Structure 1
Amino acid sequence: MRILLTGSSGWLGNALGPRLEALGHEIIGLDPVASARTQVVGSIADRDLVLKTVREHSIEAIIHSGALHKPNIEHHENTAFVATKVQGTLNLLDAAIEYGVQRFVFTSTTSLMISQAIRAGFQGGARKAAWLTEEMSPEPRNIYGVTKLSAEHLCRLYHIEHGLPVVVLRTARFFPEADDMAHAIEQSDANTKANELLFRRLTVEDAAEAHVAALEKAPSLGFDVFIVSAPTPFKPEDCAELITDAPAIVARYFPDYPRLYARKGWTMFSSIDRVYDPTRAREKLGFVFRTSFADVLAALDEA
């Protein structure tokens, strides 16, 4: 297929583009930042550019992974988020309908699932961790989440009104930047990211593979939303203890972890306040993650 990949110069785009090419697809990259993987330099907020790109390249599928991200909140006005995430997504959807695009994959975020009430619970000493699935009704707490959710609604609308097959992937953290969570100061960056694979992270390689799976399944799914995060070993009944004694719960599932972590000089978070459950992605999308917390422990053991 001829695929338009937005965000082609970014972290995910650089992992996803080569994977799609290896499968025989022709990739047209669109990004404001020039790179070897970006054929069209510009913004998705430029409606004429988007329409022209989809038309001239006879695009058959769109993977919309390009946008401002949560770390950009401090450096961009709200209007910039609206322009890229809402207007930009609308431009891509209109181009898809206008020129007969067959499938559409949208990269959303698990961040929009954390409401102000949930955040207040974390900060005020919640009695148990939040167990987060696709069944909950999101109430985003910032402009990043609000515009991502608005884009999701646009995707759903265009499926309803035009029959466009759309898969929305609410991805957990996979960015390379250091963690911004308060507990990250107690651990190294690698330690923090390893811990997060238990409940709120995945590798960029797995994020890319999830998009490949979504692209393949979109026509049969019609419209669907999936949480994409490394498989968690936890169960809902663990949520109370995850808040009070996360290391004990982790040791219950991974008895060797204390020894391996001690040898590395790593520590586990004392408390885990949320768990993203990716079960539906495995069951309906048929996606199998390649890297989990167990794989990290296996690598530590081999080392």
Structure 2
Amino acid sequence: MRIAVTGSSGRLGTATVERLRAGGHDVVGFDLAAPAGQGFTRVDLADYGQTLDALLGVTARHDGVDALVHLAAIPVNGLVPDVTTFHANLTASFNTVFAALRAGVRAVVCASSITAMGFPFDEPPPYLPLDEDFTAANTTYGLVKVLEETMAGQLVRWDPGLSVTALRFTNIVTPDDYGTFARAGDPAYRRDLLGSYVDVRDAAAAVELALAAARPGAVVYDIAAADTGLTIPSAELARRWFPDVPLRRELREFETLISIDRARARLGYAPAHTWREEYAAGQAVPR
């Protein structure tokens, strides 16, 4: 399958391109900056004409794609003014997904976010573990994610053959980031993330699984590690952070408070990396 990946030079984009190519796919990266090469085309997603043309074909690169993975975005609030984050991200997402529809691409996977489900959780969540049925935005970045998910639900009505999968990623960490988990015993650590994280390699695997499972319609999946990023048991964390929030079930010792049950059941998502193993391995390396 030939797959276009926007944001291909970013943290998740790089890992996703590597994962898809290792799986035998022909991947073309769309981004504003990346090393020159056969697998990359510079595309400004704020320009709809460029975006549509790039999906339809690029001389010496490809003559059309079978699927689209849309990861490009200003990654967090604060890098630019809030209104800039909103306009830039929403414009890029609309241009990219709408161009895919116009170009006849029928499988789209988009990066959504924990910011579409209440982050940073100054207001308590309605229940734990928190799943895809709850949606709330408290930042302009998160507002775009909510609007992207809503847009997907409408576009698949326009074209019943279109598949759009939104993956609500929590904080994505690379192998170089595991040193920060030295704070894992601090109850304030990752409080705004409900204690969650996901290894970039597992996040990339989720993208590959979502492409393989693409069916007509729009669907949302939470993507996190299977455990929290803390050494404090999950039930105790829930009581400390949100004493009045009900638990929907008894929690396993360090079970994630962001439910990944839907992704497990429908995609076969099985996160393989935990901070406990990665951090211990890093500590064992001679200095």
Smaller-chain TM-score bracket? 0.7 to 0.9
In the alignment, residue 110 of structure 2 is paired with which amino acid?
F
In the alignment, residue 145 of structure 1 is paired with which amino acid?
G
Q: Please give the secondary structure, in 1, of the residue aligned with 2:73.
A: coil
Does 1:18 pair with 2:18?
yes
Task: Measure the CA separation in 2 of the matches of 1:50 and 1:84.
Answer: 14
Task: Measure the CA separation in 2 of the matches of 1:235 and 1:188.
Answer: 21
Is the CA contact 1:166–1:222 (under 8 Å) kept in the aligned structure 2?
yes
Shift in alpha-carbon separation, 1:130–1:198, aligned structure 2, 3 A = closer
Shift in alpha-carbon separation, 1:212–1:152, aligned structure 2, 3 A = same
Gaps of 5+ in 2: 244-251
**TM-score, normalised to structure 2's length?**
0.78
Is the CA contact 2:169–2:223 (under 8 Å) kept in the aligned structure 1?
yes
Question: What is residue 90 of structure 2 aligned with on the other side?
Answer: 86
Is the CA contact 2:235–2:253 (under 8 Å) kept in the aligned structure 1?
no
Task: Measure the CA separation in 1 of the matches of 2:184 and 2:66.
Answer: 36
Q: How does 1:91-106 map to 2 (within 5 A)?
A: 91-106=95-110
In the alignment, residue 81 of structure 2 is paired with which amino acid?
E
Does 1:281 pair with 2:263?
yes
1:189 to 160, 176, 180: 180
> Higher helix proportion, which one?
1
Question: What is residue 7 of structure 1 aligned with on the other side?
Answer: 7
Question: What is residue 153 of structure 1 aligned with on the other side?
Answer: 150
Does 1:229 pair with 2:230?
no
Does 1:59 pair with 2:58?
no
Question: What is residue 240 of structure 1 aligned with on the other side?
Answer: 239
CA deviation map 1:210-235 (0-9, x unaligned): 0000010012x632101000013777
CA deviation map 1:79-128 (0-9, x unaligned): 43234321211111222122211200000111221267x41559xxxxx9
Q: How does 1:184-223 map to 2 (within 5 A)?
A: 189-192=180-183, 199-219=195-215, 222-223=217-218
In the alignment, residue 172 of structure 1 is paired with which amino acid?
T
Compute the RMSD of aligned alpha carbons.
Answer: 3.5
In the alignment, residue 42 of structure 1 is paired with which amino acid?
V
Shift in alpha-carbon separation, 1:293–1:253, aligned structure 2, 3 A = farther
Q: Please give the secondary structure, in 2, of the residue aligned with 1:276.
A: coil
**TM-score, normalised to structure 1's length?**
0.74
Is the CA contact 2:167–2:220 (under 8 Å) kept in the aligned structure 1?
yes
Task: Measure the CA separation in 1 of the matches of 2:242 and 2:279.
Answer: 22
Question: What is residue 49 of structure 2 aligned with on the other side?
Answer: 48
Task: Measure the CA separation in 1 of the matches of 2:127 and 2:101.
Answer: 42
CA deviation map 1:161-218 (0-9, x unaligned): 2121111100011145999xxxxxxx96242479769941011000000000001001
Is the CA contact 2:234–2:253 (under 8 Å) kept in the aligned structure 1?
no
Shift in alpha-carbon separation, 1:95–1:78, aligned structure 2, 3 A = same
How many residues are matched? Answer: 261
Question: What is residue 265 of structure 1 aligned with on the other side?
Answer: none
Percent identical pairs in the alignment equals 27
Q: Please give the secondary structure, in 2, of the residue aligned with 1:131.
A: coil
In the alignment, residue 119 of structure 1 is paired with which amino acid?
D
Task: Measure the CA separation in 1 of the matches of 2:175 and 2:138.
Answer: 22
Q: Please give the secondary structure, in 1, of the residue aligned with 2:122.
A: helix
Is the CA contact 1:44–1:84 (under 8 Å) kept in the aligned structure 2?
no
Is the CA contact 1:109–1:171 (under 8 Å) kept in the aligned structure 2?
yes
